[in-house]
Amino acid sequence: MSESEPLLVLHEVRKSYGELVETEVLHGIDLTIERGEFTALIGPSGSGKSTLLNLIGLLDRPTTGSIRIAGRDTAGLDDTELSLLRAETLGFVFQFHHLIGALSAIENLMMPLSVRSGRLREGDRERALAALTDVGLAARANARPSEMSGGQQQRVAIARALVHHPALVLADEPTGNLDTITANDIFALLRRFNRERSSTFLIVTHDPRMAARCDRIISLVDGLVDSDVRNLQAESH
């Protein structure tokens, strides 16, 4: 992949649902995200935010239009190739953490590391522990998700999204489920990774205060980009 090429390029992306009655949810999205950006995606319910996030996350395919990610065109890739591309380039943070309850914190972090080879290898545990240390949870490495607080769980989820150093981290309402203080902590953590590692983030949020702290705010209304602005007041500047 060429370093000069943007990390993510969407061109005329449309998405329709339904077979008998077709409903178009996205009406042609053009969007470019550069490496190292920290972007908020906002919009009212039903604006198509989640649909767009699923398309960028390669969990769904656009009806028409193209998505290039990390220099690769995703059109024509089969399910296995898409899975591999997800494993190599993407990290996900969800509103309800979605940790695997049967596994300890550190084992959860080992999952993204083992996706490519299909095996748990020697170095995985150390790498996972290092990632847990980054989010301040090394001491809870062997705790189950059910033994941790909501904030701790979300920090483990963030560590999991970043442990394999993905080019792009997609976060869907990462603080939506947390109290204000914990939400601020989590947001600060995301910003820190963006600053220290130049990880690229795309954060879907309902919360205008959260959006106001991102470098770029894309607003989606009725399946179209309504506004796309640089936010000069964001904290990192």
Partner 1 sequence: MPVSLFLALHFLREYRAQTGLTIGAVAVGVAVMVFLSALIDGLQTSLIDRTLGTQAHVVVSPNEESARPLVVDDDHQLRHIERPAQRVRPIAEWQRIDAWIRADSDVVATSPAAMGDAFATQGSANRPVVILGVDPARFDRVIPVGQRMTRGSYRLEGAEALIGIELAADLGVDVGDKLRLATPEGSDALLTIRGVFDLGNQQVNKRWVLVPLRTGQALLGLPGGANTLHVKVREIFAADRVAERIASETGLSAESWMTANQQLLIGLRSQSSSSYTIQFFVFLAVAIGIASVLVVTVVQRTREIGILRAMGTPRHRIAMVFVIQGGLVGFLGSLLGAGLGAGLSFVFARLSQNPDGTAMFPITLTFELVLAASALASLTGVLAAALPARQASRLDPVEAIRHV
CA–CA gap between residue 224 and residue 26 (Å, rounded): 6
Query: What is the smallest separation between the CB atom of 226 and partner 1, expressed in angstroms?
Result: 24
Choose among 140, 213, 118, 134: nearest CA to 175: 213
Nearer to partner 1, 13 or 217 (CB): 13
145 pairs with which residues across the strands?
none
Query: What is the smallest separation between the CB atom of 59 and partner 1, expressed in angstroms?
Result: 5
Task: Give the amino acid at 121.
Answer: R
Nearer to partner 1, 92 or 201 (CB): 92
CA–CA gap between residue 182 and residue 74 (Å, rounded): 36
- Paired tokens of 127: 């790498």
Nearer to partner 1, 85 or 212 (CB): 85
CA–CA gap between residue 163 and residue 159 (Å, rounded): 6
Query: What is the smallest separation between the CB atom of 99 and partner 1, expressed in angstroms?
Result: 8
Choose among 15, 32, 19: nearest CA to 200: 32
Strands 64-69 and 38-42: unpaired
Residues lying near partner 1 in the complex (CB under 8 A) are found at 54, 57, 59-60, 79-80, 83-88, 90, 92, 94, 98, 100-103, 107, 111-112, 114-116, 118-120
Nearer to partner 1, 22 or 122 (CB): 122
DSSP H or E run through 203 = strand 200-204
Nearer to partner 1, 111 or 234 (CB): 111
Length of the chain: 237
- Paired tokens of 11: 């061109």
Query: What is the smallest separation between the CB atom of 180 and partner 1, expressed in angstroms?
Result: 25
Nearer to partner 1, 85 or 224 (CB): 85
Query: What is the smallest separation between the CB atom of 130 and partner 1, expressed in angstroms?
Result: 19
Query: What is the smallest separation between the CB atom of 47 and partner 1, expressed in angstroms?
Result: 17
